[in-house]
A and B are shown apart, each in its own frame.
Chain A
Amino acid sequence: MNVFGDLLGGFGTVLSPEYLLYAAIGVTLGTFVGVLPGIGPALTIALLLPVTFSLDDPIGTFIMFAGIYYGAMYGGSTTSILLNTPGESASVATAIEGHQMARRGRAKAALATAAVGSFVAGTISTLLLSLFAQPVARLATTFRAADYFALALLAMVAVTALVGRSLVRGLMSLVFGLFLALVGIDGLTGQARFTFGTMELLEGVDVVVVIVGLFAIGETLYVAARLGHLPEHVRPLEPGSARDGWMTRDDWRRSWRPWLRGTAVGFPFGALPSGGADVPTFLSYTYEKHRAKNRDEFGKGAIEGVAGPEAANNAAFSGVLVPLLTLGIPTSATAAVMLAAFQIFNLQPGPQLFDNSPELVWALIASLYVGNVLLLVLNLPLIRVWVKVLQIPRPVLYAGILVFATLGVYAATGSVNQVFLAYAIGVVGFGMRHFDFPIAPVILGLILGPMLELQFRRALLVSNGDLTTFVSRPLTAGLLALAVLALAVPYLPRVVARLRGRRPEEEPRKLVFAEDD
């Protein structure tokens, strides 16, 4: 089968005025909805599902969905960067450096590197999807529960060994996230945990509620508490900075490698069942920070810390489509909603889809390229509009954020109780900011905790409680070895120095999640 012939056929379908319009509508809608805290791509698509009932055109629908996804992802990054209010877990890593850049008058550059990085990563990963969908899918289905546990552990260690200036504070934040993850019905036994007998907590604490609470609401409270000490405007654009703050030559030089590395992390993680876009963004952030030459700049707005995670989260989407299209396995919330959309049109994604509906599949893949281009075309000019948000006086701006955050949580959950919960978590977020606790580890615990726990218990269940299941296969053992390595590496220089009988020259530099996060 000729991939390029099929792909050209797909472009032939997509590049009609009607479908281009669908793609443009999708990207626009996605961007505008995505800037609302709490409303991410999955929810946007789910809310639009009923529309597809009357559309009666699977190709147009999926083209629009692809546009919405890219748009919503980028919209989420916009608010993360400008206001430090990420709307879903995949933008949390972006917020760390992105917002610091915005505070230092580099908002335009941050938004630009996010847009261009998304474009580059989206295009490369779509190319990977076109060429290697089948083999990657085969590889992904060799992962067993024990491997997922090892992988989650590796991700956890790789990221948390580097959290925060104060290890104790970082760990406390992490444990808080892990605790929140425990609330609700246990996935394996169906028993309720930490619900205090209430129905409302049975579903657990939604990660969106926590993110909106900790970031949008927590940030608002924190700003309100210090309003007297702050200038009225968030940040006037730095006057006289090169070409009004757009990406400088130096920014390009520092961005392109993180874009590529982010793509390399995002695509495979997205393709793994039980993957998704959030873990690779954290990994990419950590990696960029770890290898950066000017590490001191991290926490103060290093452009690498925006470029990498943004690329990773866009690349992950093409990755997510691999198991969805080839095996019918949804690996993220968005993919699950898209699977439902397939079923509405009575299509069952799986090994037969490429043979049974080649026109649809290749049109969808082609629409990803088109969506990427449209995203760039739409958003680069919009950047100058977005940064104007920062010129709004602080009290008005943060009042607005609070309104949108409340609306977002209500729209996402349809429950007033969840709104109260978000506010309660917001108060915690305020306290964490006041006492200098890092915020990101909470989200990390909330995402990785359930993965670690469920896969560990599943692995033990299928192996009848035999712990050797974690070392009996090369893949599992290898991943666990990497995890141990990741834990030990930061301390190696000190150990080596001591072995040589010298005093360590300097403390190992612990990486920091945003200096004044």
Chain B
Amino acid sequence: MTGTVARRPGRVPAAVVSAALLAAAVAGCEKDTAAGRNAGGEVRYPTKTVQLMVPAAPGGGWDLTARTMQKAMTDGKLVEQPVEVYNVTGAAGTVGLAQLVSKNSGDPHHLMVMGLVMVGGVVANKSPVKLDQVTPIATLTAEQEVIVVPAASKYRTLKQLMDDAKADPASVNWGGGSAGGTDQILVGLLAKAAGADPKAMKYVAYSGGGESKAALLSGDLTAAVSGQSEFADLVASGKVRALAVSGATGIDVGGGSPAPTIKQQGYDVELMNWRGVVAPPGLDEPTRQAVTGLVDRLHSSDAWRAVLQQQGWEDFYRSGDDAAAYFAAENQRITAVLTDIGLG
């Protein structure tokens, strides 16, 4: 009987592949003790493989961030042990968040990449696990948001668009990523700043940037909101026009010259789609500082600098108490605006 099985050549490599997949996934669930300490009471960290959780599918912004961290840490010899990246998908990262809190509590060798999207996801999905339950480590990078209209649109400035949106909300179709995500948050903040009713804004949610691009080009949408690089090629080719970016300083989003910021056009709104890293709850102070120290070293490494440059990510570094304060402030602001929109 075994002879028959062995005569299935195709199945053997397949089995090896899936066994490897399984091994990688199982390794992610491993649980262990806190960091080691030397005689002086100083915390040695990391003392074993660092597990970096991506609370989303492979291929997205968080995934890219985590794999870049992994490469920079390993290439820059910041850690002697390997760094492993694994994905836990689901619900704007809140499934991963729940897992970090329930399964990895007190284990500094489990870290999780997260960002603004998760802040919104916790509110919009009414996640039972909140962000203030984890240990903030740092914010790393940020991308601006961009507001675009089709080339043939009558809107040339953000003000014209907002005036119409305020006077007749039904006349403007906003579009962007998933409900309660960064794009809708920006629309809500803008409406609030312009004195319009955030709840009245017509926001059409699409999965991923591609669908909203198609909808903008086909005429379903008046304006689309997206990450800074998503529409770069369409802007460069003149198919769409960028009205504003959401950061503190204007950046080039494909048009060849910096697009104006929302603030420059008279609305007091600044929104960065930032990404950062958190540790599980239950770390003592020295351990927390040791983890923060590792991320500090990562941030100042040459490998990390090079990647920021290459990916066009803005350096948005805050660590330790700064990060904790920033997380809290963002949490408050995002909760407020999502409540205004009616998703809170």
Could you tell me the distance in whole angstroms from the C-beta of A396 to the nearest C-beta in chain B? 6
B232 — which chain A residues lie within 8 A by C-beta? 348, 350
Q: Is A182 an interface residue (CB 8 A)?
A: no
Report Cα–Cα, A501/B170, bound state, in Å. Answer: 54
Q: Are B8 and A388 in contact (CB under 8 A)?
A: yes
Report Cα–Cα, A464/B202, bound state, in Å. Answer: 9
Contacting B5 at CB < 8 Å: which of A31, A273, A392? A392
Stretch at the interface among A237-245, A339-347, A440-448: A339-347
Q: Are A331 and B210 in contact (CB under 8 A)?
A: yes
User: Which residue of the partner chain A has the closest CB to B125?
Assistant: A202
Stretch at the interface among B82-90, B105-113, B153-161, B324-332: B82-90
Could you tell me the distance in whole angstroms from the C-beta of B333 to the nearest C-beta in chain A? 18
Report Cα–Cα, A35/B128, bound state, in Å. Answer: 39
Of B125, B220, B237, most buried by chain A (CB within 10 Å of CB) is B220
B339 — which chain A residues lie within 8 A by C-beta? none
Contacting residues of chain B (55-71) with chain A, CB-CB under 8 angstroms: 57-60, 63-64, 67, 71
User: Which residue of the partner chain A has the closest CB to B214?
Assistant: A273
Known contacts A32-B10, A199-B95, A329-B210; A407 and B237 CB within 8 A of each other: no
User: Which residue of the partner chain B has the closest CB to A352?
Assistant: B233
Q: Are A32 and B237 in contact (CB under 8 A)?
A: no
User: Which residue of the partner chain A has the closest CB to B237?
Assistant: A351
Report Cα–Cα, A413/B88, bound state, in Å. Answer: 8
Q: Are B64 and A339 in contact (CB under 8 A)?
A: no
Known contacts A187-B179, A340-B60; A414 and B86 CB within 8 A of each other: yes
Q: Is A323 an interface residue (CB 8 A)?
A: yes
Report Cα–Cα, A47/B126, bound state, in Å. Answer: 31
Q: Are B179 and A190 in contact (CB under 8 A)?
A: yes
A391 — which chain B residues lie within 8 A by C-beta? 4
User: Which residue of the partner chain B has the closest CB to A31?
Assistant: B10
Report Cα–Cα, A353/B180, bound state, in Å. Answer: 32
Of A33, A329, A346, A392, most buried by chain B (CB within 10 Å of CB) is A329
Q: Are A407 and B22 in contact (CB under 8 A)?
A: yes
Contacting residues of chain B (275-290) with chain A, CB-CB under 8 angstroms: none
Of B9, B59, B173, most buried by chain A (CB within 10 Å of CB) is B59
Q: Are A327 and B213 in contact (CB under 8 A)?
A: yes
A385 — which chain B residues lie within 8 A by C-beta? 9-10
Known contacts A49-B58, A199-B90, A199-B98; A190 and B217 CB within 8 A of each other: no
A187-210: CB near B (< 8 Å → 1, else 0) gives 111101000000110110000000
Q: Is A236 an interface residue (CB 8 A)?
A: no
A323 — which chain B residues lie within 8 A by C-beta? 210, 214
Q: How large is the interface on A (under 10, 10 to 19, 20 to 34, 35 or more residues)?
A: 35 or more
Contacting B59 at CB < 8 Å: which of A49, A186, A190? A49
Q: Is A461 an interface residue (CB 8 A)?
A: yes
Could you tell me the distance in whole angstroms from the C-beta of A445 to the nearest C-beta in chain B? 19
Contacting B234 at CB < 8 Å: which of A31, A350, A382, A410? A350
Contacting residues of chain B (201-221) with chain A, CB-CB under 8 angstroms: 202, 204-205, 207-211, 213-215, 217-221
Contacting residues of chain A (195-235) with chain B, CB-CB under 8 angstroms: 199-200, 202-203
Report Cα–Cα, A274/B212, bound state, in Å. Answer: 11
Q: Are B229 and A143 in contact (CB under 8 A)?
A: no
Could you tell me the distance in whole angstroms from the C-beta of A416 to the nearest C-beta in chain B? 9
Q: Is B11 an interface residue (CB 8 A)?
A: yes
Contacting residues of chain B (141-195) with chain A, CB-CB under 8 angstroms: 170, 173, 178-180
Q: Is B21 an interface residue (CB 8 A)?
A: yes
Known contacts A145-B215, A350-B237, A462-B221; A344 and B64 CB within 8 A of each other: yes
Q: Is A336 an interface residue (CB 8 A)?
A: yes
Q: Is A328 an interface residue (CB 8 A)?
A: yes
Stretch at the interface among B12-20, B257-265, B297-305: B12-20
B219 — which chain A residues lie within 8 A by C-beta? 144
Report Cα–Cα, A329/B224, bound state, in Å. Answer: 14
Q: Are B58 and A462 in contact (CB under 8 A)?
A: no
Contacting B233 at CB < 8 Å: which of A336, A337, A350, A404? A350
Q: Is B310 an interface residue (CB 8 A)?
A: yes
Q: Are B57 and A46 in contact (CB under 8 A)?
A: yes
B116 — which chain A residues lie within 8 A by C-beta? none
Report Cα–Cα, A410/B25, bound state, in Å. Answer: 9
Q: Is A386 an interface residue (CB 8 A)?
A: yes
Q: Are B88 and A414 in contact (CB under 8 A)?
A: yes
Report Cα–Cα, A400/B19, bound state, in Å. Answer: 14
Q: Are A190 and B95 in contact (CB under 8 A)?
A: no
User: Which residue of the partner chain A has the closest CB to B91?
Assistant: A202
Report Cα–Cα, A69/B57, bound state, in Å. Answer: 19
Q: Is A23 an interface residue (CB 8 A)?
A: no
Report Cα–Cα, A329/B231, bound state, in Å. Answer: 10
Could you tell me the distance in whole angstroms from the C-beta of A272 to the nearest C-beta in chain B? 9
User: Which residue of the partner chain A has the closest CB to B212?
Assistant: A329
Q: Are A53 and B237 in contact (CB under 8 A)?
A: no
B202 — which chain A residues lie within 8 A by C-beta? 461-462, 464
Contacting A32 at CB < 8 Å: which of B14, B86, B178? B14
Q: Are B58 and A47 in contact (CB under 8 A)?
A: yes
A377 — which chain B residues lie within 8 A by C-beta? none
Known contacts A329-B211, A353-B233; A408 and B18 CB within 8 A of each other: yes
Q: Is A349 an interface residue (CB 8 A)?
A: yes
Of B8, B25, B90, most buried by chain A (CB within 10 Å of CB) is B90
Q: Is A393 an interface residue (CB 8 A)?
A: yes
A142 — which chain B residues lie within 8 A by C-beta? 218
| Complex A-B, nearest 4 residue pairs according to Cβ-Cβ distance, in ascending order | A350-B233, A190-B179, A340-B59, A351-B237
Supply 20 A–B pairs (Cβ within 8 Å), ascending by A.
Answer: A32-B14, A46-B58, A140-B214, A144-B219, A185-B91, A185-B179, A189-B179, A192-B125, A203-B90, A323-B214, A327-B217, A329-B213, A336-B210, A340-B59, A344-B64, A352-B236, A404-B14, A407-B21, A410-B25, A462-B202
A residues touching B (Cβ–Cβ < 8 Å)?
A: 31-33, 35-36, 39, 46-47, 49-50, 53, 140-145, 185-190, 192, 199-200, 202-203, 273-274, 323, 327-331, 335-337, 339-341, 343-344, 346, 348-353, 382, 385-386, 388-389, 391-393, 396, 400, 404, 407-408, 410-411, 413-415, 458, 461-462, 464
